[in-house]
Amino acid sequence: MLPALARAKEKTRVAKVHVELYGIGLALQMYADDHEGRLPPVRVNCNSDLSEHWCQLPVELAEERYLPRSSRAGCEANMEDPFDPGHTYKYAAPGPQLLNGEPAGDYALWVPTNFPGLDGSFGRYHTDPKTSPVRWVLWSLGPRPRSKKSQSAHAPMSRDTWYRHTGDSGVIVRYATREGLQFKSP
């Protein structure tokens, strides 16, 4: 009975993640509509107190009330990843990047060569939002956030790193194409 209960609980949490990523995707679209098509920058931290908050949800979405606000450092948007307590979902997009709050060039998003196929380990990094096939990506680190699949250099865009079923590891993903169409991992 306990294994069945654990599987049901995991499925429920995965469903919750998909719903919340969908809502965050809508918030990103509204933000872009209100800011001449621009998306918020990607944030990367190497400070010891915030280094685990890499690719946190954009603070702009919370500051401008597209998402609920929190006062916790590294979690300004009150959208905690249920599989990684104390951390928000992750966000990345080709384009501007902030390192410890300062401009640091462009964020490079790895996308499989056969996009939109998303299979395989061959791909390239995209830094220009005008030429990248992916506009943005949101993800949860999944039920086993420290797993090899969840921490892969090809996550979150490689299908090989995606969570597939109860008991599996991998990331749970929602992304938008350059044209703005949204898709999710299974």
Tens of pLDDT, residues 90-118: 999 999 999 888 899 999 999 988 877 66
Q: How far apart are CA 105 and CA 168, in angstroms?
A: 35
Tally of CA atoms within 13 A in the half-sphere of 155 that contains its CB: 24
Q: What is the mean pLDDT of the chain?
A: 89
pTM: 0.92
Q: Are strands 182-184 and 172-177 parallel, antiparallel or unpaired?
A: antiparallel
Categorize the per-residue pLDDT at 50 as very low, low, confident or very high, splitting at 50, 70 and 90. Answer: very low
The distance in angstroms from the start CA to the end CA of the chain is: 26
- Least confident range from 48-52, 85-89, 136-140: namely 48-52
